Structure formats: structure tokens, C-alpha cells
Amino acid sequence: MADLASFETKIGYVFNKKELLEQAFTHRSHLNENRSAGREHNERLEFLGDAVLELVVTEFLYAKYPDKPEGDLTAYRAALVNTVSIADAATKLGINEYLLLSRGEARDMGRARQIILANAFEALIGALYLDSGYGTAKSFIATQIFHKTDEVVEKRLWQDAKSKLQEIAQEKHGVTPTYKLMDQSGPDHNKVFVVGAYIGEEKVAEGSGRSKQEAEQDAAQKALAAKGW
């Protein structure tokens, strides 16, 4: 694990309670291999940070787009706080260097790592909130997330991938795509779902996410890419 002081320098905030920052970067799998570490894993902080992130982004969008209906604002928010978006923000902060993981998790650099990074980003928000309050957490989120908004809206990145896939599949093949749950893992409050997107009998792509809906959207997005649509 890299020196946490260097991370504090990177985000421009020094924690009063260093153990909160350490906990934010501690994955459950690390404690399974290091039971005497005297640490807590980050799932409770992630639970808190997820709620703070959603409130801050909702408040921002409500003020930024006074004429947009609730449905549009919900779609924008989903695009800003989904796993891909916040894992990207975590990657740009170099959070990967600071994670405490089991040896097995440390080797996996695929979709599972993306979800771990997203969870750690939310846990970090929870840690900032507990250490210094809503204002500090809000400032951090503003710096890391808000700049994505204009691109999300202008490029229609918020558009529902499932709707787009359905529209094109019906037009080209006369069928409606279906989604099948392939796998689910993790504790109840932090499950990872894997879903297959099918057009007729053909499995076109698999997607994953922290809810079935997010996994279906991810699968639809990958199916669109696989089909060149």
C-alpha cells in the first residue's frame, strides 16, 4: 500500500482520523487474509458515501438544469454516478495504488477491479463526510465528478442503452432483446450481478454491475458495441 500522505496531498485534504482513510481503501478480501490487521473493511463507509454522492449530484443537477424534468435529471445522475464513471474518477486519482486487497483480488484487473475501485471511491466520500462533514465531501465530489456533466448531456451518454438496443434489434431482426442473470456474488448489500444480453438465441454480450438494472445496461452497451450499432 502506497503512503497515504501522498494521497492526501493529491486530493488537497489531510484527514483528522487517518484510520478512516485507511478503512476506505481496505477491501473485505484483505481482512480475510490478514485477520489480525485490526482494521475494518470499507463496506459501511461505501454505504454512507453512496448516499452522500447521490445527494450531492442530485443537488448539483437540480440547480444546473432548472428547466429539465425529473426523468432527464434522473438519467443524467445515473450516468454520472454509475460504476464506470466513478471507477474512472478513482483511476485518475490513482486509488488503485492505495487499495488493500487479497492476493487473488490484486491479480484481477478486469471488471471486478472496476467495481472495487468504484466502491473505494464511494467509501472515500463516506470517510471525508465522517471526518469533516458534508461541505468537504461535496467539494471533493464537485472536483472529481461535476466536470463530466456537460459531456454526458451533449453526447447523450445518459441515453438508455437498453432502449437503444431494443429499437435497433427490432428494426434489424424483428426481435426484442432479452436479459438473463448469469451469476451473482458478494454480500447482500454489495452484490455483483452478471447478466447476458440475448438477441433471439444468440448471447451477444455480458455485463456486470451492482444491481441487475446496472448489469443489464452494461450488457446492452456492450451488445451495441459488439454489433457495431
Active-site residue (options: 46, 50, 88, 216): 50
- Which residue matches cell numbers 452494461? 218
> Catalytic site residue 50?
yes
- Please name the residues in contact with 208: beta carbons below 8 A apart, sequence gap of 6 or more: 111, 115, 192, 193, 194, 195, 215, 218
Active-site residue (options: 46, 105, 122, 214): 122
- Which residue matches cell numbers 429539465? 68
**Helix, strand, coil percentages, rounded to 5, for the chain:** 65, 10, 25
Give the C-alpha separation, 154 to 135, whole Å: 28
Catalytic residues: 50, 122
